Amino acid sequence: MFDGFELERIKVGEVSLRVRHGGSGPPVVLLHGHPRTHTTWWQVAPRLAEDFTVICPDLRGYGESDKPPADDDHSQYSKRAMAGDIAHLMSELGHERFAVVGHDRGSYVAYRTAMDWPDRVSKLVVIDSVPAVEALERADAKFAAAWWHWWFFAQQETPAERVICADPETWYNAWTSNGPDHLGPENHADFLAAIRNPATVHAMLEDYRAGLGVDRQADEDDRAAGRTITCPMMVLWSLQDDMEEIYGDLLEVWRPWAPDLAGHGIDSPHHVAEYAPAELAQSLRNFLR
């Protein structure tokens, strides 16, 4: 995987991140979702590296990146903390301005980076998400039935960690829909190592717990202050996922947050970087260059 890329650990403030980077040209950072690691981009990053310098970190708590102790409000795993990691990472690599692409949970980090560091982010792409506050305000029976794991992950009295860690490979469909045939053998091995680590499972759930509290509050504060995403933004979504069924027109959901907005669907299941890497890479290249 990632032929020609360099793999290293980079200190970014209080945590160190596992990072893979390579290519040449304008910098773009790719942020994975749950329960993946940076290796989910293994078929996308090399395609982009023909035109861009591509940086793929494990988010804090995920993969082999550091897992700081959780605090009472889960802010150690807030998207604001993770966005700060990305801004500091790009400074360490010598990139003052950069594009950010995020999928799933990584998309929350991506748009928080654009909101908190507007002078640093040149373009933003989010895949399969809407702002946290929009998701929670629109939550209804359909949402609860489809995305019930948000509430399960958030429980404190009966921690989800006990259930997941009892059999992580079954929980995460590691030999069916998330098997090596779909993920690729090396990406699958990295995914397995992550979900088999109880510390990683705990950190991934802390990400969701932050999403229902401090992340929502950050969105509400931005909306109340009239802050929007100032850079050009593209929204992509997987047509075989349930985004349109739950939210309808995703561009209309995002438009109040991003005046300079474009986007379209891609015919793929949820993990588009693994199921439709060529189409995703082409969409990103067309927007970012």
Q: Is residue 158 part of a domain?
A: yes
Q: Is residue 102 part of a domain?
A: yes
- Give me the amino acid identity at 128: D
- How open is the CA angle 256-258-264, to the nearest 5 degrees? 100
Looking at the DSSP bridge assignments, the partners of residue 233 are: 124, 261
**Mean pLDDT for the stretch of residues 238-245:** 96
Q: Is residue 1 part of a domain?
A: no
User: DSSP state, 11?
Assistant: E
**Mean pLDDT for the stretch of residues 247-260:** 97
Q: Indicate the number of domains in the chain.
A: 1
Given this model, what pLDDT does residue 81 score? 98
Longest dimension (CA), the chain: 49
Dihedral sign from CA coordinates of 42, 91, 125, 83:
positive
Kindly report which listed range (52-66, 102-116, 146-160, 237-251) carries the lowest average pLDDT score: 146-160
Active-site amino acid positions: 104, 270
User: DSSP state, 38?
Assistant: G
Model confidence over 203-216: pLDDT tens digits?
999 999 999 999 99
Closest CA to 92 of 206, 4, 15: 15
| Interatomic CA distance for residues 129 and 104, integer angstroms | 6
Model confidence over 132-156: pLDDT tens digits?
999 999 999 999 999 999 999 998 7
SS3 122: strand
Q: Is residue 98 part of a domain?
A: yes
Closest CA to 7 of 39, 35, 48: 39
Given this model, what pLDDT does residue 286 score? 98
| Interatomic CA distance for residues 39 and 251, integer angstroms | 28
Kindly report which listed range (7-11, 88-92, 158-162, 247-251) carries the lowest average pLDDT score: 158-162
| Interatomic CA distance for residues 19 and 39, integer angstroms | 10
Which of the four pLDDT bands, split at 50, 70 and 90, describes residue 158?
Answer: confident
Model confidence over 79-91: pLDDT tens digits?
999 999 999 999 9
Q: Is residue 67 part of a domain?
A: yes
Does the pLDDT at position 157 exceed 80? Answer: no
Q: Is residue 257 part of a domain?
A: yes
Q: Which domain holds residue 158?
A: 6-288
Q: Is residue 83 part of a domain?
A: yes
Model confidence over 63-117: pLDDT tens digits?
999 999 999 999 999 999 999 999 999 999 999 999 999 999 999 999 999 999 9
**Mean pLDDT for the stretch of residues 260-278:** 98
Given this model, what pLDDT does residue 155 score? 87
| Interatomic CA distance for residues 103 and 200, integer angstroms | 19
**Mean pLDDT for the stretch of residues 266-274:** 98
**CATH code for the domain in which residue 166 is found:** 3.40.50.1820
| Interatomic CA distance for residues 164 and 159, integer angstroms | 9
